A and B are shown apart, each in its own frame.
Chain A
């Protein structure tokens, strides 16, 4: 596993030296700094609006980074032909992919830690120390990104970054409306559409499971069972998607 770790740390190093990532993170920081100003232009419980905007911003930036880094994860190695020397080393392709994924996951985790810390400082200065619910929402967001990254990694094993980004974005958007898809299916009178909608609901990820941001902002407790189910779903689904990615990657010829 030391070889997997070597690939993971190299991927992490490459990501943190990526200027595009710096730019996206810069926007996240700007968004966090601007969020306290929301209380000046809102009526009602402005503290909740500030918390909502800050958490929403972190979620959006997290999703962008996961897709942006994920889709280029394998493709860049192939395009730059660095895969030539990697493949010639005594390392299986599945280990190579696992190392790349792990490196990206660490990058996202560090990014979440940085943004979580900035949230604590910026929003905390105005509203006092955030409640644990906020941090739980960030952990759940990390689970969501884990799953989105697995899909982006799968797409990057066979598609160019632009195409892979389009696919990943579709998965990201549909994933957030999975419950609506199920509801449409159940309410439809057409059996064929019903079947299609329910099949899509079962196959595509249900990212709404991980979204407890509204509950965190409003201080509504989330049952432990819900968090536990989300964790199991995240791990099981990500492992399955990565398994498919490994099979695809194993069969690829690098030109």
Chain B
């Protein structure tokens, strides 16, 4: 077994209603999160991302499979000794001030007294809440609570940071702040495991990604491994008055075509021979969004149709 987080066939079946009808929230999740990586967990709503995180964090119990954090089974609370966690929505004690709140979580992580106060002050500054140290959390906005939650997660100086949708509810400045903190933690060699709907954040931050659709893992690896770096098509736009034979799209005085990379050279020659000029040549690389949508399309055509992926 390797990795800071390691799961083997992790599953969760919920039962609801009078007849206790089963509903599969997560199925056979086998995942390895290597140390020191920023690991993104992506998938549409209801994919099972939060369920997996809740099981790892001891909030819910799995109905099948096993999971380990730092080599210890998740049933052992000590596996979370060096783990910081921020849940999807910020839920904290409204009666506590920001300073008391961090002190409380510092005590739970057994941070010694003088260090606790120093660390709380430093973290409040880091998340831009130093001015609100003595204000009760009940009067905080959602974005401020999210930032306070992040400070709380860092109180125990964790090796592993688990964030469930850390960017939700944040304004652009807050998002930049959270992203910077994640990158900083990664630079310090910490492992960051987080789920997000904002795929551009995942692409910008993560070394590795896992894709979850309908409770099942559809792929995991580095971004180049998953989406590939080879150029499939090249988007070419030319300034030319005459039409050329082929699948062209006319846009005013311009002609546009998407061709395989090998066809670009001959095409430019033909355009120039006809008196035209090159406006732009843009290689098309597959994005994480393309990959996610194709996985949704494969796993759940009905959902894909609803999302407009399939006609």
Inter-subunit contact A251/B109 (CB<8 Å): no
Inter-subunit contact B95/A87 (CB<8 Å): no
Inter-subunit contact A88/B91 (CB<8 Å): no
Inter-subunit contact A6/B104 (CB<8 Å): yes
Residues on B with beta carbons closer than 8 Å to the beta carbon of A3: 107-108, 110
Determine which of B80, B95, B149, B162 lies in contact with A89 in the assembled complex, contact meaning CB atoms within 8 Å: B80
Determine which of B83, B92, B100 lies in contact with A88 in the assembled complex, contact meaning CB atoms within 8 Å: B83
Inter-subunit contact B109/A10 (CB<8 Å): no
Q: A2-B107, A85-B152 are in contact. Are A10 and B93 (CB under 8 A)?
A: yes
Determine which of B59, B95, B104, B109 lies in contact with A83 in the assembled complex, contact meaning CB atoms within 8 Å: B59
* A231-255 contacts to B (CB < 8 Å): 251, 253-255
Inter-subunit contact B77/A14 (CB<8 Å): no
Q: A2-B107, A254-B59 are in contact. Are A84 and B81 (CB under 8 A)?
A: no
Inter-subunit contact A87/B89 (CB<8 Å): no
Count of A residues near B, CB < 8 Å? 27
Q: A6-B104, A6-B108, A81-B87 are in contact. Are A88 and B93 (CB under 8 A)?
A: no
Within 8 Å of chain A (Cβ to Cβ): is B132? no
Inter-subunit contact A13/B85 (CB<8 Å): no
- Shortest CB distance B211–A (Å): 24
Within 8 Å of chain A (Cβ to Cβ): is B2? no
Interchain CA distance A82-B101 in the complex, whole Å: 12
Within 8 Å of chain A (Cβ to Cβ): is B302? no
Interchain CA distance A89-B76 in the complex, whole Å: 11
Q: A3-B107, A14-B93, A84-B91 are in contact. Are A251 and B77 (CB under 8 A)?
A: no
Residues on A with beta carbons closer than 8 Å to the beta carbon of B80: 88-90
Residues on A with beta carbons closer than 8 Å to the beta carbon of B198: none
* A64-89 contacts to B (CB < 8 Å): 80-89
Interchain CA distance A88-B80 in the complex, whole Å: 7
Determine which of B77, B89, B95 lies in contact with A13 in the assembled complex, contact meaning CB atoms within 8 Å: B95
Q: Which of B57, B59, B89 has the most CB of A within 10 A?
A: B59
Residues on B with beta carbons closer than 8 Å to the beta carbon of A34: none
Determine which of B60, B83, B109 lies in contact with A253 in the assembled complex, contact meaning CB atoms within 8 Å: B60
Residues on A with beta carbons closer than 8 Å to the beta carbon of B59: 83-84, 87-88, 253-254
Inter-subunit contact B107/A6 (CB<8 Å): yes
Within 8 Å of chain A (Cβ to Cβ): is B78? yes
Interchain CA distance A204-B58 in the complex, whole Å: 33
Interchain CA distance A5-B108 in the complex, whole Å: 9
Residues on B with beta carbons closer than 8 Å to the beta carbon of A166: none
- Shortest CB distance B62–A (Å): 10
Determine which of A18, A81, A90 lies in contact with B77 in the assembled complex, contact meaning CB atoms within 8 Å: A90
Interchain CA distance A85-B106 in the complex, whole Å: 12
Closest to B85 in A: A88
Interchain CA distance A32-B104 in the complex, whole Å: 36
- Shortest CB distance B108–A (Å): 4
* B52-96 contacts to A (CB < 8 Å): 54, 57-61, 77-81, 83, 85-87, 89, 91-93, 95-96
Determine which of A5, A18, A85 lies in contact with B92 in the assembled complex, contact meaning CB atoms within 8 Å: A85
Determine which of A2, A10, A90, A254 lies in contact with B104 in the assembled complex, contact meaning CB atoms within 8 Å: A10
Q: Mark B241-261, 1 if CB is under 8 A from A, else 0.
A: 000000000000000000000
Residues on A with beta carbons closer than 8 Å to the beta carbon of B54: 84, 254
Q: A13-B96, A14-B95 are in contact. Are A84 and B57 (CB under 8 A)?
A: yes
Within 8 Å of chain A (Cβ to Cβ): is B105? yes
Interchain CA distance A84-B149 in the complex, whole Å: 11
- Shortest CB distance B78–A (Å): 5
Closest to A76 in B: B93
Closest to A18 in B: B95
Inter-subunit contact B61/A251 (CB<8 Å): yes
**A: which residues have CB within 8 A of B?**
2-3, 5-7, 10, 13-14, 17-18, 80-92, 251, 253-255
**30 A-B pairs whose Cβ atoms sit less than 8 Å apart in the complex:** A6-B108, A7-B108, A10-B104, A13-B100, A14-B93, A17-B95, A81-B91, A84-B59, A85-B92, A85-B149, A85-B152, A86-B108, A87-B57, A87-B58, A87-B59, A88-B59, A88-B80, A89-B80, A89-B105, A89-B108, A89-B109, A90-B78, A90-B80, A90-B81, A90-B83, A91-B77, A92-B77, A253-B61, A254-B54, A254-B60
